[in-house]
Structure 1
């Protein structure tokens, strides 16, 4: 069974070099950007083309992080694959760098003078229950997928927030806090991808069709083109035993110790995380949490309820929680576990991957979120620890992609939210934290948790980066796709 869910400028300075098919030649040097004829781009697209001063331009160019105030030359709001091909062809013809946003949750440094292609309107989702596969469009969010998948008795390897884009999340690895340790990384369960490369071609890639590009996309994200659709595997999950426990400030350190004990020998069916939260004293926040430091332990278990309670028994010894939501829940209730913010906000983030979680590391994490020596509240909004391992450390037979977290057992991620002065102070604390965790760090960061200023060398090993650069040279030798948070430059041309 298959179901479908639908939630006037001067001319360019020079004519572009073309292939025999008439498409721009991706190997030809980029002409100077000049002042591209945007009227021509508007004629080519079904969707709108927005420039500074147009209604919707600022919102479309900003994304989820309000500190990323981009100033693109134009925003091409694609409504279908043909729009994406037209926008890419236009950028290639006029030498304009390209950036890509679907939902805008993956931040990159504020830039200007590029063509931003957005795909938020491309939200079609098709569920093939017989194959346990979903085909998702470029703008699909997890909320678009989970509902129809659950109707078929299946679940995707989704993240914690329903409004995060499926494609960006999945191409960045895809760490599910519910199913990850049981089934692995979402990127390892991509069946097929449709991608528009810099030559304007729509390519269908898989492990058997253009396997180097397929591997490059699962890690290299938007460095090689615009992914317009993915086929992803689904899994037979309709409920889980879990939820969260909020502990008050006086029990934060004990909660961290209990978390370390629970994760020490956890089976693959159990996935846990813990977040230290400095909750602001805002009137729209429940009084129970308002203005407090909390430890929020999150649990998801795919197995019998009694077995789950036995595994999380150390959490029950910490003391009474302010709120305990652990129990049997339908899988569609997953957003209530992490309660991620849904509204765009100004923030900065920092992360690292750890091979272990000793007491000294826990001490440093607790201090980063706890009160300063003078009693003032830490400027850090949240520090989260996620347990990796299990299926996340094992890759399916024949899987060929880039594996930044293969040797990691924990991810530590922190964010600071608010006005510029507060964010600047918080990010300095987080830099000190990640520096202090270096004795146990792999030296790399999980791709979807990287800071705006992160580079490819923060994510990939030298060998992986060399291979990615070779893929880049083949598909994007002019480096058209270079507006993102870890740009991969093409490898030099071979000498003769």
Structure 2
């Protein structure tokens, strides 16, 4: 139970709102995009700037109160019980230099704000399947960009970070200043501090040919088999994935696609439309597409490639890397989720890796997945009473695909973290060892113990 004295101290030190359960605005501050996760902190601080984060962290350290941070809550996989939640949505500082192709964002800035500002200058950023997520949180988990085969992981292109470590110090880290901490923050998620701002590279982009093709779910075997062969032939300026979709009756889904089982090919080509169309031609010849939405595109419309839900929803997700995607993998997957199977999952995506993903970063980081050829992610709408069925389906698919999986995961898409062995799968053994050592050094009291925390047992508050 938090004392009134401690609460008043926090309210004096933090300029943003400090709220307790039941107070006006509390629910809005703690709300996550993933509606299946309802946090229950003892107190929430709507931090306004880096000074607020420093003050709140020093307060937490002095009172031994565990801490979590949230910008949008897309990665809210587990419920926070007790402690202090710092909500960073007010931290909206953003500027960029179109000549130097560099941007700097505060912790609460979403990709959409960045994309709308930079595209008119012929630039793009390394966002993921939706621009509705925060740039910082997404990148700290490595960042798996829509255009990753062309440019690599988002974390590879971070120039510097301002981070408040659990001792309450605000540090600016880069390749020349505290390089070990800089490396482990980029891909190590939120284990070592709270990042208040980030400076990163932008990229020139002119011709861009992209979008999606929808096929009938009844042809899933034909489409997936063709994708597995075709994906291994595409050049590095192509980024692509394919997904099995079982679309529910929701307002944001176009009416003809509601309650339909479809296969969705996602395609991005950096180059002119004619060359992009030639590369895509083998997949256009497969099956009888229900809709072909691929064409010349402005990068401002990048959300149209994956068509992620534009509104908060309750969901469960989990992912792992696959060592290949041949006929055997397709067959094992379709036995669990193919035509005629009562599969409760909204989406099963197979993403082609390789290309620039496989290239080592010029500056050491903690990203996993460079040597993996494919990535699998499973998503289910976690609406009661379907939660048990969704969880069971995820486990069944992973079991069926175990002979073809590498045993590794990508931390942003890992899903609900299990025991320490399970959490460690998000990194190589060498990186995980370095993370655990750094966790002991920077966070000896284990204040940052929520979400995908590693290396230490929970310390009672």
Q: TM-score range by the shorter chain?
A: over 0.9
Answer yes or no: is 1:277 the counterpart of 2:211: no
Structure-2 residue corresponding to 1:481: 448
The answer to whether the aligner puts 1:390 opposite 2:332 as a matched pair is no
Q: 1: distance between equivalents of 2:282 and 2:37?
A: 41
**What's the CA shift for 1:489?**
2.8
* Structure 2: stretches of 5+ with no match in the other structure: none
Q: Does residue 342 of structure 1 match 2:305?
A: no
Instruction: Report SS of the residue matched to 1:192.
Output: strand
Deviations 1:344-376 (A, max 9, x none): 211111211012111111122233333555xxx
> 2:285 aligned to 313, 317, 341, which one?
317
How far apart, in 2, do the equivalents of 1:10 and 1:247 lie?
59
When residues 283 and 97 of structure 1 are mapped into structure 2, their CA distance, relative to the original with a 3 A threshold, is closer
Deviations 1:230-268 (A, max 9, x none): 001010014410110111122222211222222112111
- Are 1:175 and 2:144 counterparts? yes
Q: Please tell me whether the aligned partners of residues 247 and 260 of structure 2 are also in contact (alpha carbons under 8 angstroms).
A: yes
Write the deviation string for residues 39-60 of structure 1: whole angstroms up to 9, x where unpaired: 1111111110121002232232
Cα drift, residue 304 of structure 1: 2.1
Correspondence for 1:193: 161
Matched, 1:438 2:402: yes
Matches within 5 A, 1:16-415: 37-177=6-146, 179-282=147-250, 285-371=253-339, 377-397=342-362, 399-415=363-379
Unaligned runs of 5+ in 1: 1-7, 12-35, 491-496
| Superposition deviation, residue 275 in structure 1 | 1.1
CA–CA separation in structure 2 for the residues paired with 1:285 and 1:173:
30
Indicate whether 1:453 and 2:422 are aligned.
no
Q: Say whether the 8 Å CA contact 1:138–1:167 is kept in structure 2.
A: yes
- How far is the alpha carbon of 1:270 from its aligned partner? 0.4
Distance 1:372 1:431 in 2: 19
Distance change (3 Å), C-alpha of 1:413 and 1:134: same
Q: How much does 1:284 deviate?
A: 5.7
Give the secondary structure class of the aligned counterpart of 2:186: helix
Going from structure 1 to structure 2, the CA distance change for 1:247 and 1:372 (only over 3 Å counts) comes to closer
Alpha-carbon separation, structure 2, partners of 1:486 and 1:279: 33
Corresponding residue for residue 21 of structure 1: none
Structure showing greater Rg: 1
TM-score (norm 2): 0.94
Following TM superposition, by how much is the alpha carbon of 1:282 offset from its aligned partner in structure 2, in angstroms? Answer: 4.2
1:421 to 363, 379, 385: 385
* Contact 1:247-1:322 at 8 Å conserved across structures: yes
State the distance in 1 between where 2:31 and 2:92 align: 20
Q: What is the alpha-carbon distance in structure 2 between the residues aligned to residue 341 and residue 446 of structure 1?
A: 21
- Go from structure 1 to structure 2 and tell me whether the alpha carbon gap of 1:108 and 1:456 turns closer, same or farther (over 3 Å shift): same
Alpha-carbon distance in 2 for matches of 1:284, 1:129:
35
Counterpart secondary structure, 1:222: coil
Say if 1:427 and 1:372 are closer, same or farther in 2 by CA, change over 3 A.
Answer: farther
Deviation at 1:283, TM superposition (A): 5.9
How many Å separate the matches in 2 of 1:107 and 1:9? 24
Rounded Cα–Cα distance in structure 2 between residues aligned with 1:300 and 1:9: 51
What's the CA shift for 1:327?
0.6
Contact kept? 1:64, 1:103, Cα under 8 Å: yes
User: What is the TM-score with the length of structure 1 in the denominator?
Assistant: 0.88
How many residue pairs end up in the alignment? 454
CA RMSD of aligned residues (A): 1.8
3-state secondary structure, aligned to 1:472 = helix
Q: Distance in 1 between matches of 2:366 and 2:306?
A: 28
Q: Note if contact 1:92-1:198 (Cα within 8 Å) is conserved in structure 2.
A: yes
Residue in 1 aligned with 2:3?
10
Distance 2:415 2:2 in 1: 36
> For 1:421, what is the secondary structure of its paired residue?
coil
Q: Is the 8 A contact 2:149 2:239 kept in 1?
A: yes
Report the alpha carbon displacement of residue 153 of structure 1 after superposing the two structures with TM.
1.7
- Which moved further from structure 2: 419-428 or 94-103? 419-428
| Shift in Å, 1:103 | 1.1
8 Å CA contact 2:319, 2:376 repeated in 1: yes
